[in-house]
Amino acid sequence: MGLVALIFLASGLLGADDPLLLNREGAALLYKGEYEKALDSFERSRLLHHQRGERQLEAERWVNIGAIHFYQGRYLQAWATYTQASALVQEKDTWAADVRQLIDMNRAALLQKLGRDQDALEIYSRVRRRTQGISAAERAQMLSNLGALYRRLGDPYKAVDSEREALAAFQQEKDRDGELGAAKNIAIAQALDFQDYAAARAGFTQVLALALRAGNRREALQARLYLGETHFRDGRREQAEAEWAIALAQARELKAPEEEWKALYGLGRAREDRRLLEEAAGVIEASRAKLGRSVLRSGFLADKRDVYDALIERAQGDDEWLSWLERSRGRGLVRLAELRQRLPEDAALLVFWAGRSAGRLRWFTREHSGGAPLRWDRRGQPDTAWLASAPAARRWIIVPDGVLAGVAFDALAASSSERVIERHETWLLPSVAALHSPASRRAGWRWPWEPQMLGIGDPETGALLPGDERWTRLPRAGQELAAAAQHLDGRSQLLERGAARKQALQSAHGYPLLHLATHASADYESPARSRILFAGPEYLYLREVAELDLRGVDLVTLSACETAAGTLARGDAPMSLSRAFLDAGAAATVGSLWVVRDEAALIFTQLFYRALASGADKAAALRSAKLAMLRRGLPENDWAAFVLTGNGAEPIEPFVSWTQLLTAASALLIVAGLWLTRRR
């Protein structure tokens, strides 16, 4: 798979000014792959502009410095340089719009490289709507980037149209490097999407010859990588191996990790050498580690899953199979023996793997293991034949993968007369590593005046984004909060209507339970815009959720539409609001896979909290509520949408009720009175 990430180098007329000469020199060195020398030229140019107070040119040089970090896989440093550039731009500057646009396009290219395709597309769309400030060269490069993005999003026809438009613009501008990139991307679509290997070979061969003639080592390296892939897919294994071997040597010479792992992955397949595949995974993980805990890590492994799938298919034994699957999600090594110790005695861990051409279920209990292949129907959906091989354990802890993340497992037919919910208690995990160790029963109790639940709901309605105009009052949301609080023994703070502000979430870590009864929407085109409505009107966006401190929150109930749904990130759990609350520190969440009726949400809440208050663990309480709705004859859409993710094996923290406290106090007074009577 190819990904174009072109950097828009600032242009300027050469004159006697040293900074401009240094910038032109740096650009030439960058295309030759001499990155450290290019970095030195750009940095010296930037420093001279800084000393002269030339903020616009200094900002442009920061962007160029970001190009060096970008090409060498230092993505966090690249992002930081774009931030440095942005800090120099003030709204009053006449050149502000142009430079911000330059920075935006580079940020989009970086997000694209990191697998954040929808975020990148959102930036490109915003830039394209502007009619001023885009030069012909910048527009051509943006079209080429968009072409690569359209390919990744599954529209090769639109991708080729965009690349051909870019190619014509590059030719008109006499931009040889841009022309090479667009021609290469057209050949990638011919090879990987249309399987026209003859045309692809001709295209890559031409690009390689032109790149070598122009001294553009980076485009020559890219051409060799994809020429090798074309040979491999066309059954020319020896030719593929030869191209990939040269590409690997060049990638290491240029210190280009993205191209290095691709060459290793190709050679590993051509030579059937698992060691080379493992080396490719090592290069990927070293690049990801450099991102630290940055939000840029999200989606980084999505376009690299093919490497892990190849290793999963070749895994020897369950330990290795599980470890490669977890590493494909950005987690560490796992050991089956340790997982079995974490499992409740009556539970089975169901781990799914959905590769491009194959899939599998592996299940584990404390003592046994088993499995079954997964098959896909004509629509690309998994069948349910695996249910015949599934374990009979009372509890199923499910780790879905790929399209399985959107399956309502409880509603599946376990037999001709029973659904899964009627046989099993289920909950989901985003990964195997998220399996909690069985905790001993809490010894202590909390008092009724201590906080137990923060409930926020029925906000004043309004719409800030198109499509949300349909949102109306939620008259039952207030009843929902009251019903939940009625079943709880601790103190509840309920915020409704104008008081239902998102700022209240800043104190949520002081409550074991958080309940939101409002409107929400999963944005499948741009996950960052998935949102929950609060009074104002104002939104709580997915990224804001992950920034909350919810450590200490035992359960978050998201009684709103589509809170457990989201864009599938290949190799990871969906980018959902429910997942974001887990990332913020909550132990478990209850969310919905689709739109749920207001009446159904109220019924579910009443039944769910009644079961929780009785001492049932979270997963058992969920099952109890859903079974009651099923037996009342409510439609599947009303109950099957609710899913529990996280730690479902434990009950909520026990609180002493006022009734219990007063009863105990009365009993003590009676005993004390009897004792005093006897003493007298």
Do 275 and 314 form a contact (C-beta atoms < 8 A)? no
Mean pLDDT of 416-440: 86
Residue 319: how many CA atoms within 13 Å on its side-chain side?
5
User: For the chain, which residues make up each domain, given as ranges?
Assistant: 315-434, 451-659
Residue with tokens 């929780």: 612
* Residue 599: per-residue pLDDT: 92
pLDDT tier at 387, thresholds 50, 70, 90 = very high
- Percent of residues, the chain, with pLDDT higher than 90: 45
Residues 62-111: pLDDT tens digits? 999 998 888 888 888 888 899 999 999 887 888 888 888 888 888 888 88
Residue 309 pLDDT: 93
Instruction: Please give the full DSSP string across 416-430, using - where no structure is assigned.
Output: SS-BHHHH-EEEE-S
Of the chain, the percentage scoring pLDDT greater than 70 comes to 88
Q: Which two tokens stand for residue 180?
A: 């090479």
Give Cα 123 to chain centroid, integer Å: 18
C-alpha dihedral over 391, 393, 395, 401, to 10 degrees? -10
Q: Please compute the mean of the pLDDT values over residues 419-437 and round it to a whole number.
A: 91
Tell me the mean pLDDT in the region 521-532: 80
Q: Given the DSSP bridges, would you call strands 566-567 and 575-576 parallel, antiparallel or unpaired?
A: antiparallel
Whole-structure pTM value: 0.78
Q: Which long-range contacts (C-beta less than 8 Å, at least 24 apart) are formed by 52-56?
A: 52/19, 54/19, 55/88, 55/89, 55/93, 56/88, 56/93, 56/95, 56/99
Asked if residue 67 lies in contact with residue 75, where contact means CB atoms within 8 angstroms, the answer is: no
Omega cis (within 30) before 451: no
* pLDDT for residue 10: 41
Q: Are 618 and 650 in contact (CB under 8 A)?
A: yes
Average pLDDT over residues 360-377: 91
| pLDDT tens-place string over residues 448-461 | 778 889 999 988 77
Query: Position of tokens 């960058």?
Result: 30
Sign of CA dihedral 7, 8, 14, 19: negative
CB 616 within 8 A of CB 556: no
Q: What is the pLDDT of residues 285-340, one digit of tens each?
A: 998 887 665 444 455 455 688 999 999 999 999 999 999 999 988 777 778 999 99
DSSP conformational letter for 401: -
Compute the radius of gyration of the chain from its Cα atoms: 29
Handedness of CA 252, 253, 256, 259 (dihedral sign): negative
Query: Are 254 and 33 within 8 A, CB to CB?
Result: yes
422-442 mean pLDDT? 80
Report for 147-161, 425-439, 558-572, 583-597: range of highest mean pLDDT: 583-597
- Kindly report the CATH number that applies to the domain delimited by 451-659: 3.40.50.1460
Residues 6 or more apart whose CB falls under 8 angstroms from that of 654 comprise 442, 445, 446, 615
User: What phi and psi, each to the nearest 5 degrees, are found at residue 586?
Assistant: -65, 145
Q: Please, where are the H alpha helices in 488-555? A: 542-546
d(CA 363, CA 368) in angstroms, rounded, equals 8
Mean pLDDT of the chain: 85
If you search the block for the tokens 């290095």, which residue do you land on? 260
- Overall average pLDDT of the 51-57 stretch: 90
C-alpha 77/C-alpha 295 separation (Å) is 13
